[in-house]
Amino acid sequence: MTYFHMGRPKKYHTHEARLQAIRENSNRYYAKHRHVISARRKLAYQNQSSHHVGPETVPKVPPPPDPFLKFDAEVLKILQQFEDFLVGKMPSDYVKFLLHCYFKDSSQRQGEIGLFVEPLDVLYKMQEAHRSISTKALQADGPSKHQKRLDCAGNEIGTLISWLEDIWRAGIDGPYGLRIAYNRNKLAWQREDLFQPAYQGLNGIQYCTKPSHLLPNTCRIQNEVLVLHVVKNTAVAFGVVGGDAFLVELIDSIGMNFE
């Protein structure tokens, strides 16, 4: 006996008929549950709106602090150390004091070249510290006016170093060679002290080293500093106006008012 197993008859004979049936079922389901579906969509939209984040605001980054405020403070500290080192003297007067101790018979350090060598160790450290700050300023801002002012602020330290080194070389073989150089005005201190180049300090004022062996009078012309030295009947002035150095002779002071 033969048994025949009949499978489940096909509900859809074509693929299109199957898709059509799915669409019809979906429409019937939506029609039956449209209120629930609508409520779910509304709730989902409200939740999405409540968590919506507007355009992201990037906080403003504050500008970096001006490095020159720190550089100025560090340079001023070095200049104060230099002033304290000179004990209130001008660099020229300090050299004169050392020479006086070197040559004076009653001096305990007569003829000791160490008088001029020992200060160099301290001055070299000041100069190196100043150069380091000036280099940092150059890297931060390039060769700007501010950087140049910082660089020039250490001029007197370098000048005093060169004077002491020159005296050291002149007296390295003993007091005789130094005395000859001094008597013939061949020391760098004697040649350069007459008219030291003016430079602009950190506070914007023009400075000029005043030769201690002349009689200085100072006048102020349009906020520029003019250092005037009266030699006999001739007034020799050296200063800076408009950034340009000048050297002039003023006969009989030409009636200028001095402070």
DSSP readout, 195-226? SPPPEE-TTS-EE-PPPTTSEEEEEEETTEEE
Closest to 230 (Cα-Cα) out of 245, 210, 244, 209: 210
DSSP state for residue 185 in the 8-state scheme: T
Tally of CB atoms within 10 A around 237: 21
**For tokens 């968590």, what's the residue?**
51
CA angle at 247 for the pair 259 and 220, rounded to the nearest 5°: 20
| The two three-digit tokens of residue 71, written as one number | 């550089």
Compute the half-sphere exposure of residue 74: CA atoms within 13 Å on the CB side of its CA. Answer: 19
CA distance 47 to 42: 9
Tally of CB atoms within 10 A around 177: 13
Q: Domains of the chain: which residue ranges?
A: 64-195, 214-259
Weakly modelled stretches of the chain, pLDDT under 70: 1-13, 49-56, 193-259
The pLDDT tens digits for 67-83 are 778 888 899 999 999 99
| The two three-digit tokens of residue 65, written as one number | 């602090």
**For tokens 């989902």, what's the residue?**
44
Residue type, 10: K
Q: What is the pLDDT of residue 203?
A: 44
Distances in Å between the alpha carbon of 138 and those of 126, 129, 145? 18, 14, 10
Residue type, 142: G
Q: What is the DSSP string of 70-92?
A: HHHHHHHHHHHHHHHHTTT--HH
Burial of 91 per CB tally in 10 Å (0-12, 13-18, 19+) = buried
Contacts of 249 (CB under 8 A, 6+ apart): 234, 235, 236, 237
Closest to 92 (Cα-Cα) out of 181, 138, 156, 38: 156
pTM exceeding 0.95: no
Q: How far is CA 205 from the centre of its chain?
A: 18
Q: What is the pLDDT of residue 180?
A: 92
230 within 8 A of 242, measured Cβ to Cβ:
no
Q: What is the pLDDT of residue 139?
A: 85
Q: How far is CA 162 from the centre of its chain?
A: 25
CA distance 165 to 63: 45
